[in-house]
Amino acid sequence: MASADSGLPALQALLPDVQLSKPRPLGGNERTQVLRIAADYPDGNRGSLIAKRYSAGEAWVRELAALSVLPSAVSAPRVVAAQNAPPVLILSDLGEGPSVASALIGRDPAAAGQAVCAWAQAMARMHGATVGLRADFRTAIEARQGDLPVQDAPFGNDIEDAVRGLDRACTALEVRIPPGATDELHGLAKRLGASGLGALTPADACPDNNVLTNEGLALLDFEGAQWRHIAWDVAYLRVPWPSCWCSWRMPTDVSARAFDAYRDAATPLIPAVADAQFARDVSAAAVGWALITTTWFLDNALGSDPVLNPDKPTPTRRAMITHRLASAARSTELPALAELSAVIGAALAKRWGDVPLAFAPAFQTAQ
């Protein structure tokens, strides 16, 4: 992508009445480049904005569609300006406060536990505020997708990919898929499908995709936004953090308090989360995540297992995989998938030996 300074005139053209200057890169990924830009307004006020430049793909469509339908009750960036060719968003800047990730890799276990509960409450507010907005989200996508077909609820594809990936993995490990395991995984696509207890989700609500503001924890990064059964998000507390670099273990009591915090915040708007069935669905989603992410990470883990994020303390993929499979193997909710998790875990233990997943740095001194 272009350098920060070289793209400033194009960003300035989107906001001709605001003087933009001092672009500062904030990172990004293969999909985006993110900048913080100083902003001088006609009334003399000064502040800053966030600019995101997108490569080809669905990220711009998903993020803009999601942010355009979010109710004010959800603390998240707001769209200031948008351009589709090339794809750019200018967003409100929610500041440089700490994130849940910074608490997890800090030294204060109490602060880390509070941050995890704040994450759960932020997700509950998002789910509760958007639970009836699927048609609006779909309309917002269609208004922006152009010739690129963008599904509002693509997670079923991830489950189908996992079915194929597990077949390849078991062949490579020379283990047998237990009877009924594939059917149970297919069944999760229906049981926890988008037509069930669904809401809008960032889909990558990792501990670093948020920022603490004066109004509470705000969610960031809606590049993968989609409509999904809410159990998949809440299960992030159990796995934990399946799609994230900071997937350290958390103490059981921290996860339990955060789950209760989610339920307390979500129940007034989504009464079903108070039912025992919802807790079982979250447990099932945690098993699903264990196997889905095993297919994501296994090739690298079987190789040299390179560090997931060289700039930050992070567990190895091997540790994440073995911890998740061991947890899934104890499941009574999905017995065939529990057996599959145990079979794969045993085959990996023969190769790797004992590869424990450490607690997040903030919790290590408390153990």
Token couple for 99: 């994130």
Residue count (the chain): 367
Over residues 57-85, the mean pLDDT reads 96
**pLDDT at position 1:** 44
| pLDDT value at 56 more than 80 | no
The whole-model pTM stands at 0.95
Interval 198-234: pLDDT, tens:
999 999 899 999 999 998 999 999 999 999 999 999 9
What's the pLDDT score for residue 233?
A: 98
Q: What would be the CATH architecture of the domain defined by 5-92? A: 2-Layer Sandwich (3.30)
pLDDT score, position 6: 60
User: If DSSP codes are grouped into helix, strand and coil, which group holds residue 53?
Assistant: strand
Predicted pLDDT of residue 3 = 55
- Torsion, Cα 144 149 153 158, to 10 degrees, reads -130
- List the single range of 76-80, 146-150, 363-367 with lowest mean pLDDT: 363-367
Q: Three-state SS string across 302-362, please?
A: HCCCCCCCCCCCCCCHHHHHHHHHHHHHCCCCCHHHHHHHHHHHHHHHHHHCCCCCCECHH
Q: Are 344 and 170 in contact (CB under 8 A)?
A: yes
Mean pLDDT of 7-15: 93
Average pLDDT score, the chain: 95
Residues of the chain with CATH 3.90.1200: 100-364
Whether 76 and 70 have beta carbons less than 8 Å apart is answered as yes
Strand intervals (E) in 138-289? 198-201, 210-213, 216-219, 226-229
> Is it the case that residue 187 has pLDDT exceeding 90?
yes
* Sequence ranges of the chain with CATH classification 3.30.200.20: 5-92
Q: How far apart are CA 155 and CA 243, in angstroms?
A: 13
* pLDDT at position 29 over 90: no
Q: What are phi and psi of 317, to 5 degrees?
A: -65, -35
273-307 pLDDT, tens per residue? 999 999 999 999 999 999 999 999 999 999 998 88
pLDDT in tens, 129-150: 999 999 999 999 999 999 989 9
Q: Which of 26-40, 110-124, 224-238, 243-257 has the lowest mean pLDDT?
A: 26-40
DSSP tag of 71: -
Q: Say whether pLDDT at 4 is over 60.
A: no
- The predicted model gives 91-98 an average pLDDT of 96
pLDDT tens track for 304-350: 988 877 777 889 999 999 999 999 999 999 999 999 999 999 999 99
Q: Domain 100-364, CATH 1.20.950 — does that match?
A: no
Q: What is the pLDDT of residue 5?
A: 65
